[in-house]
Amino acid sequence: MIAIESLSKRFPRVTALDRLTVGIEPGVTGLVGANGAGKSTLIKILLGLSPATEGSATVLGMDVATQGGAIRERVGYMPEHDCLPPDVSATEFVVHMARMSGLPATAARERTADTLRHVGLYEERYRPMGGYSTGMKQRVKLAQALVHDPRLVLLDEPTNGLDPVGRDEMLGLIRRVHSDFGISVLVTSHLLGELERTSDHIVVIDGGKLLRSSSTADFTQRTAVLAVEVTDTDTHPDGAAALREALRQAGVALHEPGPDGGRAPGAGHLVTLDAADESVYDTVRDAAAGLGLGLVRMEQRRHQISEVFTERSAGDVA
């Protein structure tokens, strides 16, 4: 989809991208980095709108330096900032943008109706956009990026300004852009944890440099975590501690309660451990039974990406 090769972008006072090399495959890819990490700069270069200082990049096999026009015909872009005129309706606006992408008038109208429906805008699409909520505006912005049926969309901070519900809806929609529409997605966020359920692959950049690029499944599955909650008994007033001790002796890799372990309600009763394979479940069951503890729950959790990265980047990316 995208191949980035030793790409640098230097502004007079800052280096926005610093010899970045990364490949991006079809699917949903999250591009994560703190504010100023160079995410938006990278998107502008990928659209062929801003020349790189050095290095090269191709999008859909086309060179960003020489084939920008052809790239932009088959790529959609959703900017991070507001970009909607308030006195125009979503329908009129998206039809116009479809025509700007080269769609004939009739096709532009049909695609607009389809696309607005797919992003979840119904009757309100005929009203001026000035009266829309942030969530609705974000949907129109997404619709104009999808209306010409691109092969790839570049979404710059699509969840910015949304409340938690709106954010989840937007993330679900982004997932659908790939799973249902078959369009690959590069989506940016300055929040590390946000894209993990949405993305197949995560690229983390910091200060214009690549920090990490790996498949989401890769590190979330590799580090599948089992959380176990047990009751306390008279013999074991701290059931969790007793279980922890028993499991440690059985050779299970336990997670030490984190620094925030005490904060979450009931966290003290939780024993978390790496579920390397199926036998761990039996070990836990046997250990709990041996101690006479009641098993309240035993659930599999995925590691949060942020936890995976905390050791590496000392939390400054999140």
Partner 1 sequence: MSPDRTPAHTTSPHAVPGQAAPGQWEQSGSAGAAGRGQDVIHNIGYRGYEGPRLGRGYARRALFTQALRGAYGLGRSAKSKVLPMLLFATMCVPAALVVAIAVFAKSKDLQVTYSEYVLLMQPIIGIYLAAAAPQAFSLDLRFRTTPLYFSRPLTRGDYVAAKYAALTAALFVFTAVPLLIMYVGALLAKLGVAHQTEKFAQGLVFCALFALLHAAIAAWIAALTPRRGFGVAAIIVAITVPYFLVSALQGIAATTDKNTAIGWLGVGSPGTLLDGVQSKFLGGPSGFPAAQTLDAAQGAVYLVVLVALLACFTTLLLRRYRKAGL
Ligand X SMILES: Nc1ncnc2c1ncn2[C@@H]1O[C@H](COP(=O)(O)OP(=O)(O)O)[C@@H](O)[C@H]1O
Q: Does 114 bind partner 1 (CB under 8 A)?
A: yes
Q: Does 81 bind ligand X (CB under 6 A)?
A: no
38 makes contact, choosing from partner 1, ligand X, Mg ion, none, with CB < 5 to 8 Å by partner type, with: ligand X
The window from 146-154, 253-261, 277-285, 291-299 that contacts partner 1 (CB under 8 A) reads 146-154
CB of 221 to partner 1, least distance (A): 7
DSSP bridge partners of 130: none
| Subset of 83-112 contacting partner 1 (CB under 8 A) | 83-88, 92, 96-97, 99-105, 107, 111
| Subset of 288-307 contacting partner 1 (CB under 8 A) | 302
| Cα–Cα distance measured from residue 194 to residue 32, given in angstroms and rounded to the nearest whole number | 9
CA dihedral sign of residues 66, 69, 73, 75? positive
Counting Cα atoms < 13 Å in the Cβ hemisphere of 182 gives 1
CB of 312 to partner 1, least distance (A): 21
The window from 4-12, 169-177, 273-281, 292-300 that contacts partner 1 (CB under 8 A) reads 169-177
| Subset of 41-70 contacting ligand X (CB under 6 A) | 41
Which of 20, 24, 29, 40 contacts ligand X by CB under 6 A? 40
Q: Which two tokens stand for residue 22?
A: 């990364």
Q: Does 253 bind ligand X (CB under 6 A)?
A: no
297 makes contact, choosing from Mg ion, ligand X, partner 1, none, with CB < 5 to 8 Å by partner type, with: none
| Subset of 35-64 contacting Mg ion (CB under 5 A) | 39-40
| Cα–Cα distance measured from residue 167 to residue 159, given in angstroms and rounded to the nearest whole number | 5
Counting Cα atoms < 13 Å in the Cβ hemisphere of 232 gives 8
Nearer to ligand X, 46 or 230 (CB): 46
Q: Does 176 bind partner 1 (CB under 8 A)?
A: yes
Which of 3, 8, 10, 79 contacts partner 1 by CB under 8 A? 79
Q: Which residues bind ligand X (CB under 6 A)?
A: 11, 14, 16, 33, 35-41
